[in-house]
Amino acid sequence: MEVFFIYIFFAILMGVLGSDKNLGFWGAFVISLLLSPLIGLIFVLTSASKKQEETPQAVHAQQSPINQDRPAPSAKENTPIVNPVNQSTYIDSLHKLKELYESKLISLAEFEKEKQILQRQREVDDLGTK
């Protein structure tokens, strides 16, 4: 009887571990209950995180609170994803652009275009503060 409770405990534990994965609590729990908690652990560890599966629009909205009201910029627009105000914001904007490019949410051409826009905006901001 103790083995049964230990088995159920580990199945619930796998459900909790799987709750932030695409598998979810119930998926991980049922797999652990039907197959075994060890197999459930393997499924939980190999399942992608919910945060990794965000859409490009969700990522854009999170990284660009300034531009949430409008759609993602088209190739013809000359507005940066994030408007830099000072040096640290400029660097943060470059890091965010790099993350978007590395996660393949934007192309190399879009990355270079946005980087140039940020650099021009920084030059304008620097001239305005002098």
Q: Which amino acid is at 5?
A: F
Task: Convert the pLDDT of each residue in 57-68 to its tens digit.
Answer: 555 555 554 444
Task: Convert the pLDDT of each residue in 31-74 to its tens digit.
Answer: 988 998 888 888 888 888 887 655 555 555 555 544 444 455 55
Query: Model's pTM, two decimal places?
Result: 0.41
Q: Which of 103, 100, 128, 102 shows the shortest CA–CA distance to 114?
A: 100
- How do the domains of the chain map onto residue ranges? 2-50, 54-129
